[in-house]
A and B are shown apart, each in its own frame.
Chain A
Amino acid sequence: MKNPLDSLWGTIISGLILTLILHNIVAYALGG
């Protein structure tokens, strides 16, 4: 499998997915 960090779009999409995951973790921890 190709490393997503080899392309700019792969890097940006990885960052957005990580943002979504972390947002949900924090929202859950805050009871939101």
Chain B
Amino acid sequence: MEWVPAISRWIHLMAGVMWIGLLYYFNFVNVAAAKAAAADGTAAGISKHVMPRALLYFRWAAVVTWLAGAALLGRHFFEAFVFLNRAYYAIGIGAWLGTIMLFNVWVLIWPNQKKILGIVQATDDEKNKARRVAFLASRTNTAFSIPMLYFMAAGAHSALFFG
């Protein structure tokens, strides 16, 4: 058994399930739930008790997924990201999509969620703008997750997808 690739792959999959699972929870469940809760005045519980915990696991799972993926690529990391080797074209696309998604989490979603949840001070105007940016970044990641997962699978089973 080759320990580093084996453990990296396992961690990559587990952290990836947590990251994308929480992304789907936000998009498929929470957006509609928060809207309904705001309408009947019960949104405070979600904002106070659910979102901070979900976002904690979400953003750190994204980091662990990316780092484990980088460890899994190992010495082929550069080849995959700059498409130097045909064998790494598919995983290269998946890796780029995952990297853009990680950027969205830490640069667009989390800083704006901090304003929305009141973790940092913001005016109502800033909160409204933050809500739109975080929403669109989250939806972009949901859309990107579809080809990202396709190319992650294709990277490991190229003949099946591109044979």
Point out residues on A near B: beta carbons under 8 Å.
3, 5-6, 8, 11-12, 14-16, 18-19, 22-23, 26-27, 29-30, 32
Contacts and interface: CB of A to CB of B under 8 A. Distances in A.
Contacts of B161: 23
B151 to A, nearest CB: 7
B interface SS class: helix
Contact of A15 (B90, B147, B151): B147
Interface of B: 27-28, 86, 89-90, 93, 136, 139-140, 142-147, 150-151, 154, 161-163
Overall SS of chain A's interface:
helix
Given A8-B27, A30-B86, A18 B162 contact: no
B147 A5 contact: no
Contact of B142 (A6, A15, A26, A32): A15
